Structure 1
Amino acid sequence: MMKLEGALHPWRFRLMLGLLMLLIAVIAWRIVDLQVLNQGFLKVQGDARSVRHIPIPAHRGLVTDRNGEPLAVSTPVTTVWANPSELVAVPNRWVDLAAAIGQDAKVLAQRINEVKTREFMYLVRGLTPEQGQRVLDLKIPGVYAQEEFRRFYPAGEVAAHLVGFTDIDDRGREGMELAYDEWLAGVPGRRQVLKDRRGRVIQDVQVLRNAKPGKALALSIDLRLQYLAHRELRNAMLENKAKAATLVMIDVKTGEILAMANQPTYNPNNRRNLHPAAMRNRAMIDVFEPGSTVKPFSITAALGTGRYTPSSVVDTSPGWIHIGRYTIRDVSRGGLLDLTGILKKSSNVGVSKIALNIGVEPIYSIMQKVGLGQDTGLGFPGERIGGLPIHRKWRDPEIASFAYGYGLSVTAVQLAHAYAVLGNGGKNVPLSLQRLEKPREGEQVIDPKIADTVLHMLRAVVEEDGGGGARARIPGYHVAGKSGTAKKISGTGGYTQSAYRAFFAGVAPVTNPRLAMVVMIDEPATGHYYGGLVAAPVFGKVMARALRLMNVAPDDLPSAPVRTAEAKPGSGGRG
């Protein structure tokens, strides 16, 4: 009779039975542990497959002008997205979806098929909430929506170069939007939701953290003045068939930039056909040789040395001078000119003789102190500093050309700032692109008496015959200013013979200066290219309206005639 093998080895049977029972006990204990003693583990695992945290978008801070007029606002928009792995199961609904989001049905089908194994794709971004709801109302499987914010710019192209714009993800990309991105950007919130296995929200559980909107930013510009500058600059560019144009206006007392306009410009609300050249804030990015507009600072340096007085006379005959192998010429034939006459006639010969007499150091120092070729401290993205020339040993032609505006590079903002220093009694107040609650302290860089003297010399340039600034005159106001014309540097070195920049820089009113302004017209192509002919009229029109908009009191009103009592006929007595 045969015996069972297990009976021959009873210890093996008992061992296997014991291991089996131990395994059953471990499994039973784990079940009790998870279901009774330690429920949190399964809850966490379940939540990981159903509870989700999704961001709550935060809108960016409001950007306004100095008077509270909106320049950049955030509006709610709807982004429609899809789960391709779900959407691919209903191809019969793709035509309806394409029509609802405004896309070609074939293009949409191709996009879906390319990513059909993924779980996310953008269908369209930036829809209005009403448009987004119409898409959701189609109830197409796999199509969802989320709320976002989109930036809108009420002033459009008028303030585009200064305000800048954001990208599709609402991050600053140009201008003040980029410079103050962290300040303007809000902090997104978080909310807890329940989703099914297909990623659809089935329950909104709670808000874990509320979204914090970005902080507001009040700029220094006055939108009224900005519109005015934009309009006149555009008209001037078209009238003169110019390549570009720039205008900068500064409050002399506070250093706040009240207007900054450039042409060509662009619409930040529609950038589909945007040309890169139109995006440049030329007032802060383009550098140029300022030409005769810096002659007042050379005269300021001469007065500061004590070697010259306003009545000092310089012989500019016969209208040219040889310095080494170079010949410096004046437009007029010259003659005996005092310092005011040198500015009125814009005499290169006169300024050159003065510069060679006093040396380059005083002129260099004054230009540096008024901010030419120096950092403005504005922190604007892409801003250029320009620069004053550095020579180990200055040759006479370099000294002469430097004194009348060649060999250095500045921006329009720097040039306007320099004139603001003259208008502020020689005090250099830091510039600001933000509205200031109270003026900042400045540094006295020019003797107040000298600054006032030069300002009145520049008044003669505008108001007296033969001064070259007649087209900048403003009825009822005394204006001080200086025109300039500079040849452009060619791409191969040297100067072009047919491309010019025309400038006019000035301050008004002279009696109590309030505004400093610079106008630059780049490559006028109508045959007129002198600053007094091309840029001065823009200065006069914009400055006149700006002074009236700001209620600046006139300082050049005619005196009322003195009326005397007339004797009536027959009323005289006999003696």
Structure 2
Amino acid sequence: MRPELTNVLGLRLSVRRSRLLLALIILCFLVLVARALYLQCFENPYKTAKQPWLAYTEMLRANRGKITDRRGVPLAISTSVKTVCASPRDVNLSASDHQKLSHILEIQPALLTKRLSQKNKGCVYLKRQISPDKAKAISALGVPGISFENEYKRYYPKGEVTAHIVGLTDIDEIGQEGIELEYHEWLSGKPGKRFVYRDRENNPIDEDPDKLFLPQKGHDLPLSIDLRLQNFAFREIKKAVIENDAKSGSVVVLDAQSGEILALVNWPSYNPNNRKTYRPSIARNLAVVDIFEPGSTLKPFNAAAAIEAGYVTPRTSINIGNGRLRVGNKEITDTHPKKTDLTVSEIIKVSSNVGSAQIALKMPSEELWRMFSLVGFGKSPESGFPGEAKGRLRKFSTWKTIEKATMSFGHGISVSLIQLARAYTIFTTGGRLLPITFVKRDALPKGRMVMSLQTSKAVGKMLEEVVEDGGTGTKARVLGYRVAGKTGTAHKLLDGAYSKHSYYSSFVGFAPASKPKLIVAVVIDDPRGGQYFGGTVAAPVFSQIIGNSLRLLDVPGDKKEKTITADRQSPSAEG
């Protein structure tokens, strides 16, 4: 049986009732709209006739990452500070409060008046990045219209000791120099933002939680620097520059097996925490961005090129005559020639310019150029530091004979100190040129083969003889360690001519010679204290830095001392 249909389904509303129902629905909707408008315009807790409000989207600054040394010691950190803001139209200072506020902010009263006179601005900065104590003192004044923002201020715990490496940021923590500039994106993090309601006195009264985006902290950056070695190097180069009445000085310390930069210092330096004394000229990292003619510290590469190409051996005898050599219309001389015939090893030991020039003249210019190029001269050292210099190495096809001769002892070619230190890694790794870095490494790099193991060892042995009796580098000796290295003394090129009275004094070496751990390169610009040879000015600096560093690092000694003769020597300081 089919069920019967109810009559309810068939009902139809009359036209009158339909219109009435529609009217009721519209009326309810209008009531809701009216209520919403009323709440918004008349009962809003943030906007009344007596208390107008404004809505702001505020940036939340990200905490910049720390820069540390290889052992985690902080070299750059960001500390929380306050920035003082004011709503000029709402600030009404008494004469007494005006004087107190300008005193706390350490600004002139006229400048405070000028900033508060900007009535057309909703908010102006009175002083950025003040200490919490000063913020507390300002709050105690109870001045309407003054508020605070949270910010971060960069602080450098080691000041001038690490300034040329770490660099600095501006007031907004944007990297301006050094590592702070090169790794800005890594360190800076990502800012957040929030939507805030403020009263007419610029005080926050509420915020929208749905529009809150927290900042992301920047990454920390562990450097390859060992602050202990950095302190040694800084102390010694500062002392040497002052004692020798020099223009400046620089030191680079490398791990002889990893290529990590363990210390890099320059003097004069600056304190990045005191911006009033900051000058771009003094912020230059001389060891990386400045170049100089390295003098006799390049002689080992000349010898290595000739040995590697088969033109000489360490025992090949070279006749230097009376210590004078004519090349065209120019003359090359030795300061203190000791005998007529010298082996290649002896030429390095006593730093003979005539002998080095004769070695260079035995081979094509391309061979010497190739060696210089292979060890990185004339190219960026790719240390990861902004503004690093490439140096100057002209193509061999442009060399004159006299130029090839002088390049063999480091004139007519320019390098940075960091390039020179890196080049010496070929003598500490069996012929491999290591990449260098300011950032801590987790594994040893392979490096690039530049010469044979045999040549590397042969030249390394020659460099050991430099610090033995009769060599130019006896003041580089270190008690208990076999040391290898080379002195350098070069006339400065000033206004297109070589100065007769201004020099670069340098020493580059490594220890322990049997198993090299550290390379130290030292250069002192224009010493005027009575001495200028690299063996008397730079070698003692090397000795102090590498000796203290090896002992601190617990590197075993490789030399048994019978008698200490270094202080009693009157070494030849030529070179």
Normalising by the smaller structure, the TM-score range is: 0.7 to 0.9
Q: Which residue of 1 aligns with 2:494?
A: 490
8 Å contact kept, 2:369–2:395: no
Gap runs ≥5 in structure 2: 1-26, 563-575
Shift of 1:107: 3.5
8 Å contact kept, 1:163–1:174: yes
8 Å contact kept, 1:313–1:339: yes
Q: Structure 1 pair 477/195, CA: closer, same or farther in 2 (3 Å)? A: same
1:415-473 Cα shifts (integer Å, max 9, x gaps):
0001122111111121111001111221111101110110001100112x221100001
Q: Is 1:510–2:513 an aligned residue pair?
A: yes
Counterpart of 1:159 (choices 158, 162, 171) is 162
8 Å contact kept, 1:162–1:176: yes
Q: Which residue of 2 aligns with 1:244?
A: 248
8 Å contact kept, 2:489–2:533: yes
**Distance of 2:90 and 2:40 partners within structure 1:** 31
Q: Structure 1 pair 518/89, CA: closer, same or farther in 2 (3 Å)? A: closer
Equivalent pairs: percent with the same residue? Answer: 39
Q: Which residue of 1 aligns with 2:17?
A: none
Q: Structure 1 pair 429/406, CA: closer, same or farther in 2 (3 Å)? A: same
1:90-149 Cα shifts (integer Å, max 9, x gaps):
666422322332333344224433x23322221111211232122122221221110100
Q: Is 1:130–2:133 an aligned residue pair?
A: yes
Counterpart of 1:181 (choices 172, 179, 184) is 184
**Distance of 1:33 and 1:140 partners within structure 2:** 42
8 Å contact kept, 1:420–1:515: no
Counterpart of 2:437 (choices 415, 432, 435) is 432
Q: Which residue of 1 aligns with 2:342?
A: 337
What letter matches 2:329 in structure 1?
A: R
Q: Is 1:370–2:393 an aligned residue pair?
A: no
Counterpart of 2:422 (choices 398, 417, 422) is 417
Q: Which residue of 2 aligns with 1:196?
A: 199
8 Å contact kept, 1:302–1:358: yes
Shift of 1:495: 1.0
User: Following superposition of structure 1 onto structure 2, how do residues 350-365 of structure 1 map, counting pairs within 5 Å?
Assistant: 350-365=355-370
Q: Is 1:303–2:307 an aligned residue pair?
A: yes
Gap runs ≥5 in structure 1: 1-27, 560-575
8 Å contact kept, 1:34–1:41: no
Q: Which residue of 2 aligns with 1:253?
A: 257
1:301-339 Cα shifts (integer Å, max 9, x gaps):
110111211110000011111111111111123410001
Counterpart of 2:144 (choices 141, 145, 156) is 141
Q: Is 1:541–2:507 an aligned residue pair?
A: no
Counterpart of 2:467 (choices 462, 469, 491) is 462
8 Å contact kept, 1:62–1:70: yes
Q: Secondary structure of 1:478's partner?
A: coil
Q: Secondary structure of 2:276's partner?
A: coil
1:144-186 Cα shifts (integer Å, max 9, x gaps):
1101000111111100000011111111111101110010002
Q: Structure 1 pair 89/269, CA: closer, same or farther in 2 (3 Å)? A: closer
What letter matches 2:409 in structure 1?
A: Y
What letter matches 1:146 in structure 2?
A: E
1:271-290 Cα shifts (integer Å, max 9, x gaps):
21223332111000110111
**Distance of 1:231 and 1:332 partners within structure 2:** 33
Q: Which residue of 2 aligns with 1:318?
A: 322
**Distance of 1:187 and 1:393 partners within structure 2:** 52
8 Å contact kept, 2:366–2:396: no
User: Following superposition of structure 1 onto structure 2, how do residues 212-231 of structure 1 map, counting pairs within 5 Å?
Assistant: 212-231=216-235
Q: Secondary structure of 1:161's partner?
A: helix
Q: Is 1:278–2:282 an aligned residue pair?
A: yes
8 Å contact kept, 2:145–2:200: no
Q: Which residue of 2 aligns with 1:24?
A: none
What letter matches 1:258 in structure 2?
A: L
Q: Structure 1 pair 353/40, CA: closer, same or farther in 2 (3 Å)? A: farther
8 Å contact kept, 2:197–2:204: yes
Shift of 1:205: 4.2
TM-score, normalization by structure 2:
0.87
Counterpart of 2:447 (choices 433, 442, 455) is 442
**Distance of 2:70 and 2:553 partners within structure 1:** 13
8 Å contact kept, 1:301–1:363: yes
TM-score, normalization by structure 1:
0.87
Q: Which residue of 2 aligns with 1:54?
A: 58
**Distance of 2:429 and 2:458 partners within structure 1:** 12
Counterpart of 2:123 (choices 120, 123, 136) is 120
Shift of 1:343: 0.6
Q: Secondary structure of 2:554's partner?
A: coil
Q: Is 1:170–2:176 an aligned residue pair?
A: no
Q: Structure 1 pair 300/392, CA: closer, same or farther in 2 (3 Å)? A: closer
Shift of 1:31: 6.6
Q: Is 1:388–2:393 an aligned residue pair?
A: yes
Q: Secondary structure of 1:272's partner?
A: helix
Q: Secondary structure of 1:151's partner?
A: strand
**Distance of 1:523 and 1:205 partners within structure 2:** 64
**Distance of 1:56 and 1:137 partners within structure 2:** 26
Q: Which residue of 2 aligns with 1:288?
A: 292
**Distance of 2:419 and 2:97 partners within structure 1:** 61
Counterpart of 1:105 (choices 105, 109, 113) is 109
Q: Which residue of 2 aligns with 1:407?
A: 412
8 Å contact kept, 1:420–1:507: no
Q: Which residue of 2 aligns with 1:571?
A: none
Shift of 1:347: 0.9
**Distance of 1:109 and 1:199 partners within structure 2:** 19
**Distance of 1:106 and 1:38 partners within structure 2:** 46
8 Å contact kept, 1:359–1:399: no
